[in-house]
Amino acid sequence: MAADPPVERRVNPYDKCAYTFQELKEFYKGRYTDEQIQELWDTRMPKVLPKLLEEASPEERADREFVLKALRLRGPELRHVDEKLRLDKEVILAAVTQDWIALDYVPKEMLQDRDVILAGLQQDWEAITYAAADLLKDEEVVIGALQGSAMALQTIPQEMWFVPSVREALLDSLRRNVDPLRNCPKAIHKDPAVMLEALKLRPKFLELCEPELLADHGFVLSAVKGNWEVLEFLPKHFASDREVVAAALAQSPYALRLASQELRGDRDLVLGCVQKGSGALRYAAPDLLADQEILAAAVQQDVHCLRQAKENLKDDKDLILQAVKSNGIALQYASPRLQDDLEVVLEAVAQSGHALEFASTTLRQERRVVLAAVHCSGRSAVAFASKELRSDVEVLRAARAGGGYDASR
């Protein structure tokens, strides 16, 4: 009677030697606890896979029980199994379940068995490349392959691509990992649903789309609605397509950078963008930087957008007042006339005493303005007052007191 396969051995990563668990316990006895030794065995030590059948006698290779035990340890040893046992389904499944590479040694007639192929697909999609032709039309087999990778399309017949359950499995596979699409048959690149799913994840995959898809305005619009970054890879004429650009802008105001010069000058589009994100202002046509409503929308989010405003808006008192009430430092962008406007400057220094730096020379000599700045920001604001007021008793007293001055008196 054939001997049982030997006790499991594993490799210790620290000395590269193979041990049984009992040998490992004996080796580390007194140095580590049983729990620590168990953890090392379970998490750090890979199994030593014995080559039982390679070294077995002809009798052992024909012994079904011995063969099953051996294959459950090392599937590819199927190549050493007696020919009669290689037609035994249980033997084949034991080998393939342990390692799908054992399919290399499965007899042709057994590759028609869907259970054998499915066992391989549990580990790797490439198991489908071993399947008999009839199994390539089996929905469960095809879906099992696609669950591993969309690369399975290289083997799956086109007639199966459009079976609803297979199609859904393909789309699910792409959602998990879209990259294999690049190596799939070109015919799938003509499929609108597949390419739309891919473009949601990889806008650059637009380069894979067949020309007829890019000539379909509905497809292009859907692609941009799925991911606005697709616009960056579309043919240049789409940058002038208001509907396509608007679909991109609905997702990100920064898509304005991809629009044509003409659409960057479209007031409604630009206003909508700036209301969502002030940073889009940098992509607006120069003429729109003189539009009070657009600048007001931008300034409401970031007063530093005034840096881009045309000179007429830097002299717009309502706009500047809105800005300095939000951030007094915005006074630096105001026109000289408004930097000398008492109402504007008082609002600015009430929000930030450091705004005094940007007030006119005249107003930095105005005690009321300087005291309001000191009240807001304390001693540090004194540095921006006129020379005379920097040594003014009332100003210094307010600075030491840390505030309390009423700028409205």
Burial class (CB in 10 A: 0-12, 13-18, 19+), 112: middle
pLDDT over 60 at 358, yes or no? yes
Residue range 346-354: mean pLDDT, rounded: 93
Residue 408 lies in a domain: yes
Q: Whole-number mean pLDDT of the chain? A: 91
Q: Are strands 9-11 and 47-48 parallel, antiparallel or unpaired?
A: antiparallel
Indicate the SS3 state at residue 11. Answer: strand
Indicate the SS3 state at residue 175. Answer: helix
User: Would you list the DSSP string of 327-391?
Assistant: -GGGGGGS-HHHHT-HHHHHHHHHH-GGGGGGS-TTGGG-HHHHHHHHHHHGGGGGGGS-HHHHT
Residue 9 lies in a domain: no
Residue 406's domain comprises 328-409
Indicate the SS3 state at residue 216. Answer: coil
Residue 98 lies in a domain: no
Q: Which amino acid is at 179?
A: D
Dump pLDDT digits (tens) for 294-328.
999 998 898 999 999 999 999 999 999 999 999 99
Residue 407 lies in a domain: yes
**Axis crossing angle, helix 393-401 with helix 367-377, rounded to the nearest 10:** 20
Residue 401 lies in a domain: yes
Residue 7 lies in a domain: no
Residue 209 lies in a domain: no
Dump pLDDT digits (tens) for 119-157.
999 999 999 999 999 999 999 999 999 999 999 999 999
CA distance 159 to 256: 42
CA distance 14 to 27: 12
pTM: predicted TM-score of the whole model, two decimal places: 0.67
Residue 403 lies in a domain: yes
Of 6-20, 141-155, 211-225, 276-290, where does mean pLDDT reach its minimum?
A: 6-20
What is the number of structural domains in the chain? Answer: 1
Dump pLDDT digits (tens) for 22-73.
999 999 999 999 999 999 999 999 887 667 888 888 999 999 999 999 999 8
